């Protein structure tokens, strides 16, 4: 009987080992999961899945984030691998390779870094502790998505915002990995490349002043500039009107209006006041910008006010405070006319972006109208803001006076807003015959109501402006304050996200709204209850094993005694 029982145990053991082996083989080749997390961390958005299911070719993703990494970058690496595995679970045509660009001989590493730099892939400096010494290293928080001869680099690490902790930056980066990878895959196979057109001819920002934006767009879109005197029809996915300083005449308004009526999308960067900082001497009164667009905007449902927003949350400018050795001595002062704009909305365009650097913006009112138009406020001033109504005096004397917070009692003034819906033509029931003849020439009927489309109104064109050095032909980033030496990354994020949103035919911007919550330890509670948790985690498991052993031994004695 003992022999038969031993034989049965052997068979059961072999079967158990076989089951475990088969399960391991299946688990090795099939990636599956059940998402029980509150923030749906392991669930892809429907738009991402749609992009993945349409890929029929083999795609390779090179993950360059590898090496001796600090814990926060290991978290970013793990999150990226999780997302890629989720992608593979939807479409097995995706393959990925993890490689370290800093491994090899000095010559090999230098060659790799030079080739990566040509693709605008640059390393990030980090500090780690080796042998009780703080050592600086270069890592590449990048992924490169490849298909044939085409490739798109994807930066996995977001810039660290002003006053933002490193943990918050990593968390923000992890939030955006799905969106960035899905967007790159979409662009890799997209046949119709979005065309972004800048209007010129009304003293808008010069090409040299929008060069950074056009460069940033060039990797995934095409850009051009158009003078409305030279065309009968606007052909663009997004039209950008950036700071007109002279009258936009009725003919040009008609072209833009009919572009909108046919589903065109416009981003308006409109300055209401012309202020030259170098001209401020004593009491300076700025002049209004005569662009002639007020009535058109009113018809669409917004009013950009003739005022200037002041904010205690601001950037700085220099002022001379004395002379030393015959040279002027300067000091930076907070300048309330340069607000740092923000957003409290969860809209994908502005969610998780840094503050936006602005100069002399105006407030915007959204008007009540009978049209089927929905508005979404994108950027506002801070809680500590107010405005001055035109005509106002602007003087550097304000720097000499301590600002009273109670005087800044107009919180969250709107400075950027998006309208979505079906717009009514500005020229309804009053189309001049000459304009009708223009439409006849291109065999296009006049439309008095648009299909569903979008417009974004921003009350400061400097938000997308870069500085340009004519001697060196160098351009600054958008949002660069030359006196502080500070780049406000929110400027770039705001305009690029806006264009992505307006050209997004898959709804991939949905994945940008996904938010992973940081699960940080309460350090005070940890220090207070340290001994308790040490006992629970170290002593309790040992006691449980001893107790279980006692129960098993007791049960065996009782059964076989």
**Per-residue confidence at 434, pLDDT binned at 50, 70, 90?**
confident
Q: By percentage, how much of the chain surpasses pLDDT 90?
A: 42
> Taking Cα atoms as reference points, which of 320, 285, 59 lies closest to residue 189?
59
User: pTM (2 decimals)?
Assistant: 0.78
Query: How long, in residues, is the chain?
Result: 561
DSSP string across 454-490: EEEEES-GGGG---EETTTTEEPPTTEETTTTEE-TH
Q: Does residue 520 have a pLDDT over 80?
A: no
Q: Which long-range contacts (CB under 8 A, 24 or more apart) does 154-161 make?
A: 154/180, 154/181, 154/184, 155/180, 156/65, 156/76, 156/80, 156/180, 157/76, 157/124, 158/352, 159/354, 159/489, 161/354, 161/355, 161/489, 161/490
- pLDDT at position 7, please? 66
Enumerate residues 6+ apart whose C-beta is below 8 A from 221: 193, 194, 195, 196, 237, 499, 503
Strand stretches in 277-428, DSSP E:
287-288, 302-304, 307-311, 314-324, 327-341, 356-357, 364-366, 373-380, 385-389, 414-421
**Per-residue confidence at 226, pLDDT binned at 50, 70, 90?**
very high
Highest mean pLDDT among 33-47, 94-108, 155-169: 94-108
What are the tens digits of pLDDT across the range 243-273?
Answer: 999 999 999 999 999 999 999 999 999 999 9
CB 355 within 8 A of CB 162: yes
Highest mean pLDDT among 33-47, 141-155, 177-191, 446-460: 446-460
Question: What average pLDDT does the segment 450-457 reach?
Answer: 95
Q: By percentage, how much of the chain surpasses pLDDT 70?
A: 89
Longest dimension (CA), the chain: 111
Q: Does residue 67 have a pLDDT over 90?
A: no
Decide which of 279 and 74 is more confident. 74
- pLDDT at position 35, please? 58
What are the tens digits of pLDDT across the range 304-361?
Answer: 999 999 999 999 998 877 777 777 778 888 999 999 999 877 888 998 888 999 999 9
Decide which of 288 and 470 is more confident. 288
Task: Say which CATH topology domain 45-189 has.
Answer: Glutaredoxin (3.40.30)
Q: Does residue 163 have a pLDDT over 70?
A: no
**Per-residue confidence at 46, pLDDT binned at 50, 70, 90?**
confident
Domain locations in the chain?
45-189, 202-488, 521-561
Decide which of 76 and 9 is more confident. 76
- pLDDT at position 3, please? 55
Q: How far does CA 325 lie from the centroid of its chain?
A: 47
**Per-residue confidence at 527, pLDDT binned at 50, 70, 90?**
low
Question: What average pLDDT does the segment 502-509 reach?
Answer: 78
What are the tens digits of pLDDT across the range 350-398?
Answer: 988 889 999 999 999 999 876 789 999 999 999 999 999 999 998 888 8
Annotate 264-285 with b (16+ C-beta within 10 A) or e (fewer): bbbbbbbbbbebeeeeeeeeee
Annotate 319-340 with b (16+ C-beta within 10 A) or e (fewer): beeeeeeeeeeeeebebbbbbb
**Per-residue confidence at 130, pLDDT binned at 50, 70, 90?**
low
Q: What is the chain's Cα-based Rg?
A: 30
Distance CA 41, CA 262 (A): 39
Enumerate residues 6+ apart whose C-beta is below 8 A from 176: 158, 352, 512
- pLDDT at position 474, please? 87
Highest mean pLDDT among 67-81, 414-428, 517-531: 414-428
Distances (CA, A) of 177 to 49, 166, 172: 14, 17, 9
**Per-residue confidence at 207, pLDDT binned at 50, 70, 90?**
very high
> Where would I find the H helices in 323-467?
433-441
């Amino acid at each position: 009987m003992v022999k038969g029982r031993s034989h049965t145990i052997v068979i059961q053991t072999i079967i158990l080992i076989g089951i475990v082996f088969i399960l391991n083989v299946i688990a090795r080749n099939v990636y599956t999961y059940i998402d029980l997390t509150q923030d749906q961390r392991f669930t892809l958005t429907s738009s991402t899945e749609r992009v993945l299911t349409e890929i029929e070719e083999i795609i390779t993703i090179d993950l360059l984030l590898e090496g001796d990494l600090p814990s926060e970058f290991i978290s970013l690496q793990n999150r990226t691998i999780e997302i890629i595995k989720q992608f593979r679970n939807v479409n097995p045509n995706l393959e990925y390779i993890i490689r370290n660009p800093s491994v090899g001989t000095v010559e090999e590493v230098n060659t790799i870094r030079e080739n990566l730099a040509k693709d605008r892939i640059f390393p990030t400096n980090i500090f780690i502790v080796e042998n009780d010494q703080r050592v600086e290293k270069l890592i590449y928080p990048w992924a490169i998505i490849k298909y044939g001869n085409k490739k798109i680099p994807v930066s996995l690490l977001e810039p660290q915002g002003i006053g933002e902790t490193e943990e918050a930056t990593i968390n923000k980066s992890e939030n955006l990995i799905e969106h960035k990878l899905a967007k790159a895959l979409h662009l890799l196979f997209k046949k119709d490349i979005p065309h972004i057109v800048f209007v010129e001819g009304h003293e808008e920002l010069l090409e040299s002043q929008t060069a950074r934006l056009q460069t940033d767009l060039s990797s995934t879109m095409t850009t051009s500039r158009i003078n409305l005197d030279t065309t009968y029809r606007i052909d663009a996915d997004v039209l950008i009107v950036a700071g007109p300083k002279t009258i936009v005449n009725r003919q040009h308004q008609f072209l833009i209006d009919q572009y909108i009526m046919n589903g065109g999308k416009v981003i308006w960067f409109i300055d209401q006041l012309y202020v030259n900082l170098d001209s401020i001497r004593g009491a300076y009164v700025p002049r209004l910008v005569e662009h002639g667009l007020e009535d058109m905007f009113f018809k669409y449902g917004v009013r950009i006010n003739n005022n200037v927003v002041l904010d205690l949350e601001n950037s700085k400018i220099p002022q001379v405070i004395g002379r030393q050795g015959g040279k002027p001595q300067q000091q930076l002062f907070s300048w309330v006319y340069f607000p740092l704009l923000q957003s409290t909305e969860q809209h994908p365009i502005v969610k998780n972006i840094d503050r936006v650097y602005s100069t002399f913006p105006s407030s915007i009112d959204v008007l009540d109208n009978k049209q089927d138009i929905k508005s979404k406020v994108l950027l506002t001033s801070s809680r500590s803001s107010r405005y001055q109504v035109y005509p106002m005096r602007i003087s550097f004397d304000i720097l000499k006076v301590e600002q009273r917070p109670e005087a800044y009692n107009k919180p969250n003034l709107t400075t950027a807003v998006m309208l979505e819906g079906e717009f009514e033509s500005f020229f309804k029931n009053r189309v001049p015959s000459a304009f009708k003849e223009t439409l006849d020439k291109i065999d296009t009927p006049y439309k008095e109501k648009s299909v569903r489309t979008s417009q974004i109104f921003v009350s400061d064109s400097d938000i997308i402006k870069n500085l340009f050095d004519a001697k060196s032909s160098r351009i600054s980033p958008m949002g660069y304050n030359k006196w502080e030496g500070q780049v406000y990354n929110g400027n770039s994020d705001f305009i690029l996200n806006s264009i992505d949103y307006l050209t997004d035919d898959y709804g991939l911007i949905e994945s940008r709204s996904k938010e992973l919550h940081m699960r940080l330890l309460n350090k005070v509670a940890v220090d207070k209850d340290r001994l308790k948790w040490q006992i629970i985690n170290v002593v309790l498991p040992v006691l449980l094993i001893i107790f279980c052993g006692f129960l098993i031994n007791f049960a065996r004695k009782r059964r076989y005694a």
